[in-house]
Amino acid sequence: MKRILIVGAGTAGTMMARHLLRKIDPREWKITVVDKDENHYYQPGFLFLPFGIYTDKDVIKPKKKFFSSKIEYLQANVDLIEPQKNKIVLENGTDLEYHIIIIATGTDIASDEVAGLTDSGWQVDAFDFYTYKGASALARKLETWPGGKLALHIAEMPIKCPVAPLEFAFHADAFFTKKKMREKVEIEYVTPLSGAFTKPIAAGVFGNLLAEKNIKLVPDFNTERVDPNARQLISYDQRKVDYDLLVTIPTNMGDALMERSGMGDELNYVPTDKHSLQSKDYENIFVIGDATDLPSSKAGAVAHFEAEILTRNIMSFIRNQPLTASFDGHANCFIESGFGKGILIDFNYEYEPVQGRFPIPLLGPMALLKETRLNHWGKLAFKYIYWNMLLNAIPLPGITTHMSKMGKKLNI
- pLDDT, one tens digit per residue, over 94-133 is 999 999 999 999 999 999 999 999 999 999 999 999 999 9
> CB-hemisphere CA count at 13 Å for 220?
4
CATH match of 109-251 with 3.50.50.60 = yes
pLDDT tens digit sequence for 299-328 = 999 999 999 999 999 999 999 999 999 999
How confident is the model over 190-209, as a mean pLDDT?
92
Angle at 396 between CA 309 and CA 391, to 5 degrees: 70
Q: Is the pLDDT of residue 410 over 80?
A: no
pLDDT at residue 396 is higher than 90: no
What confidence score (pLDDT) does residue 51 get?
A: 97
> Which own/partner pairs from 56-63 qualify as long-range (CB within 8 Å, at least 24 positions apart)?
58/383, 59/132, 60/132, 61/387, 62/38, 63/9, 63/14, 63/35, 63/37, 63/38, 63/39
pLDDT score of 91 more than 80? yes
Q: If DSSP codes are grouped into helix, strand and coil, which group holds residue 290?
A: helix
With 80 as the cut, is the pLDDT of residue 56 above it? yes
DSSP for 373-387? HHHHHHHHHHHHHII
Contacts of 53 (CB under 8 A, 6+ apart): none
Residue 411 confidence (pLDDT) above 70: no
* 210 pLDDT more than 80: yes
Q: Per-residue pLDDT averaged across 372-386, rounded? A: 95
Q: How many CA atoms, within 13 angstroms, populate the side-chain half-sphere of residue 141? A: 22
pTM listed for this prediction: 0.95
Class of domain 2-106+255-318: alpha beta
pLDDT of residue 200: 87
Q: Is the pLDDT of residue 226 over 70?
A: yes
Q: Which of 337, 412, 405 is nearest to 376 (CA)?
A: 337
| Predicted pLDDT of residue 119 | 93
Mean pLDDT along residues 10-29 = 97
Domain 2-106+255-318 shares a fold with domain 109-251? yes
> pLDDT value at position 70?
95
> In the chain, what percentage of residues exceed pLDDT 70?
100
How large is the average pLDDT for residues 207-227? 97
Q: Residue 289's pLDDT is what?
A: 97
Q: Where in the chain are the domains? A: 2-106+255-318, 109-251, 332-390
| Region 171-186 average pLDDT | 98
Rounded Cα distance, 8 and 101, in Å = 11
When mean pLDDT is compared across 19-28, 32-41, 402-411, the lowest value belongs to 402-411
Kindly tell me if the per-residue pLDDT of 59 is higher than 80.
yes
